[in-house]
Amino acid sequence: MPSKPQPTQSANLTGAHAFDLRVGRWTAHHRRLKERLAGSHEWIEFDGAQTIWPLIDGLANVDENLFKMPAGEFGGVTLRSYDPKTGQWAIRWLDGRDPFGALDPPVKGRFEHGVGTFYADETINGKPVRVRFIWSRITPTSAHWEQSFSPDGGQTWETNWITDFQRAT
């Protein structure tokens, strides 16, 4: 990996440029439901860090994450890739707590009017679940991400993880 990724100052949040402003180093503040898909209303909060590098002339990027959770720290990696034929991004996750585990199914989608919405179908605890990521408020110095699950095919959603990013200095 390159030593220090340099952000692109493009404000074009479409197509292959949708994540250009995210390249670089970030601090993160996370809020996550303690129990996902269990009707929990108890949130835990913790900080973290993220570094993003561009790949393949901007058609992909990878980020390394550090989560400083109350029960201990762990890391993970996100790989995003853009398909110019479909105009969609695919986002894949590797959890550092299970490095030999299967990658989650990619969430796929695009940005419209500065908001990226991405979906996947997954099985969690033996049950089919629709997964949604929303990227919004992306600026040169900040960004917002939310993850939601739907056990009923997208009719209702439970937001279970929210992260606000600030560019690290």
Cα–Cα distance, 32 to 3 (Å, whole number): 30
Least Cα distance to 52 among 83, 116, 104, 6 occurs for 6
pLDDT band at 37 (very low <50, low <70, confident <90, very high): low
Q: Please say if the pLDDT value at position 39 is more than 90.
A: no
Distance CA 124, CA 128 (A): 6
Most confident of the following: 9-13, 100-104, 150-154: 150-154
Mean pLDDT of 40-49: 93
Report residue 154's pLDDT band, with 50, 70 and 90 as the boundaries.
very high
Strand 60-69 and strand 43-55: the pairing is antiparallel
The arithmetic mean of pLDDT across residues 136-154, rounded, is 95
**Whether this model's pTM surpasses 0.85:** yes
Domain ranges of the chain: 15-160
Distance CA(80)–CA(19), nearest Å, equals 9
Contact 89, 116 (CB under 8 A): yes
What average pLDDT does the segment 119-132 reach? 93
Please tell me the predicted confidence (pLDDT) of residue 148: 96
Task: Give the pLDDT score at 124.
Answer: 86
Is 116 within 8 Å of 132 (Cβ atoms)? no
> Measured between alpha carbons, how far is residue 9 from residues 2, 12, 24, 56 in Å?
19, 9, 11, 18
Q: Is the pLDDT of residue 38 over 80?
A: no
State whether CATH 3.40.50 applies to domain 15-160: no
pLDDT at 8 over 50: no
110-145 burial by CB neighbour count: b if 16+ within 10 A, else e?
bbeeeebebebeeeeeeeebbbbbbbeebeeeebeb
More confident residue, 102 or 54: 54
Alpha carbon 52 to chain centroid, angstroms: 11
**pLDDT tens digits, one per residue of 77-96:** 999 999 999 999 999 999 99
Largest CA distance in the chain: 44
